[in-house]
Amino acid sequence: MSIEARKFRATDARQLLENPMFVEAFEAVGKQLQMAALTCEPDNATKAQRIIITQQLLAAVKREITRVVEDGKIAEIQLSELENRKKFALFRR
């Protein structure tokens, strides 16, 4: 993937993470999973395991979106370094 594409993806991911509906949905699902964990019967290991896996999945989705944002920051730095190299190369001639 090109540096520019990574930068654009990061912008989309940042907008997604900052979107009020997205934030609200993540919080609501997180609270529902927390309540499910608290009200889960101690003998129901299968249900408890499903709740934990779902919590892990929810965290993984958010972590992946955050990773795309961080990758975009790295892409911006790389793009800046490339531009500086080009300027320096023109200066040296």
Half-sphere exposure of 57 (CA within 13 A, CB side): 8
> At 85, is the pLDDT very low, low, confident or very high (cuts 50, 70, 90)?
confident
> What pLDDT shows up at residue 92?
58
Mean pLDDT of all residues belonging to the chain:
90
In whole angstroms, give the CA distance from residue 25 to residue 22: 5
For residue 3, is pLDDT > 90? Answer: no
What pLDDT, in 10s, does the model give residues 23-55? 999 999 999 999 999 999 989 999 999 999 999
For residues 70 and 62, what is the distance between their CA atoms, to the nearest angstrom? 12
Predicted TM-score of the model (pTM): 0.78
The answer to whether the CB of 65 falls within 8 A of the CB of 13 is yes
